[in-house]
Amino acid sequence: MSTSGFSITLRSYDEEIRDFLDTVLLGSPGGIQYRVHRETSMNERHENVHFLCLSRKEKLLGVVGLVNRVDKSGKTWLYIRYLHIKRTLVPDKINRNAVLNRNAVTRKKSRYQRISLLEEKLLEHLEEFSRQLATTNTILAYAFVEDKNDRSMKLCNRFDFNKAQEIQTLLFHRFNPASHSQIRLLTDEELQGMDHELRHFYDSYAAYHTEGLIQQGYFLGYWLNGEWVAITRIMRHHWDIERLPERFSFLHKWKLDRWPYVRKVIPGQAFHFLTADYFWFKQGCERYLEKIMEHALAKEEVHTVMLWLSKESPHSQVLRTSISWGFLNKLGHSGSVSLVMREFKGNREETQEIEVLKTKIGPTFINAHDMT
């Protein structure tokens, strides 16, 4: 089966890739769907990111973003930041009852076989890139996929990624957030001074890294009795909303999402929000994280903070019970995301055999930049 006209190349970030990613509609059918508006303040960093690019006649049709990530223990990981192939290249299910013309069925089969060959070629390039990164016999590759996004999940499955953990999305919301005088902005030197505490706090987490830690966003901390009792990194984000979840679609239709009160709860066409990650707190001081997030909302004049945690995190239960998350969580809007993983082996022959991970990994650390 011919795949002539198609090419797969490994490239660094450039304007064509940027423009392609800007057109990608993210989210799940039936849920919220959006395009990412890249904030200048985020200081996007792409020096550790390479892109496997699928093109046809010099037109970009798909990208797989590959992040060479080294955690604080020195272990190398391959993080898949982007995995998007245009819908025209995703195989359709052949409806034999609807298709009466045998030639039409044959053409669809032929198209499916061509796509399968392209995916095989793409996977070969992914395996080759993984072998170049591997410092030991194996390297773990991972990605985050929304549970409701069947198309993305099936694409991951065709690349032999398996579900390893569940990730919960927590939404912190305030209608009228208040500032708190005990909260201060950490300097770079103060943040470096917290490195030991952060490492100890995330000691049981897999893939804990400090990629873009200082360059993206800023750290706020609660200062009490001459010491920090809680800190977290804050980043601002902007999504262009294309579709709301089905139960809220009437808001767009009747333009109710433009009402000021409604926009404090349900995102309008432009959704500005914050994320919190790299949080840390002294034992018994987790409630101060709530004060920090509320202060950040007041400072940035927005109403929602998003935070992601592995359901296996040792901090999950205490955060859910000790913090008043607000109105959105009461509505049950918190969603679930899957961590999917695959092990690549250095030996080409061994790579052909895909294994379910034999060693159970700890809760995976989540950099909010990976989720936005």
- The domain that holds 154 is classified in CATH as 3.40.630
Report the candidate in 365, 289, 371 with the shortest Cα–Cα distance to residue 69: 365
Section 321-345 average pLDDT: 80
Residue 1 falls inside a structural domain: no
User: CA-CA distance, 101 to 105, in Å (whole number)?
Assistant: 7
pLDDT at residue 227, as a whole number: 97
pLDDT at 31 over 90: no
Identify the helix (H) or strand (E) that includes residue 273: strand 270-281
Are 211 and 220 in contact by the 8 Å Cβ rule? The answer is no
DSSP class of residue 92 equals: P
Q: For residue 197, how far is the Cα from the chain centroid?
A: 25
* Structural domain for 306, as ranges: 6-371
pTM for the model: 0.84
Tell me which residue of 214, 236, 229 sits closest to 282, measured CA to CA.
229
pLDDT tens readout for residues 176-190: 999 999 999 999 999
Task: Return left, alpha or beta for 121; rule: phi > 0 is left, psi -120 to 50 is alpha, else beta.
Answer: alpha
User: Residue 270's pLDDT is what?
Assistant: 82
For the stretch 272-313, pLDDT in tens is 899 999 999 999 999 999 999 999 999 999 999 999 999 999
Q: How far apart are CA 354 and CA 157, in angstroms?
A: 11
Number of domains in the chain: 1
Model confidence pLDDT, tens digit, residues 114-156 = 567 778 888 889 888 988 887 777 899 999 998 888 888 888 8
The answer as to whether 36 is a domain residue is yes
In the predicted structure, residue 27 carries a pLDDT above the cut 50: yes
Q: Please, is 68 exposed, middle or buried when counting C-beta atoms within 10 Å of its C-beta (0-12, 13-18, 19+)?
A: middle
Whether 153 contacts 145, CB under 8 Å? yes
Cα(342)–Cα(156) distance, integer angstroms: 10
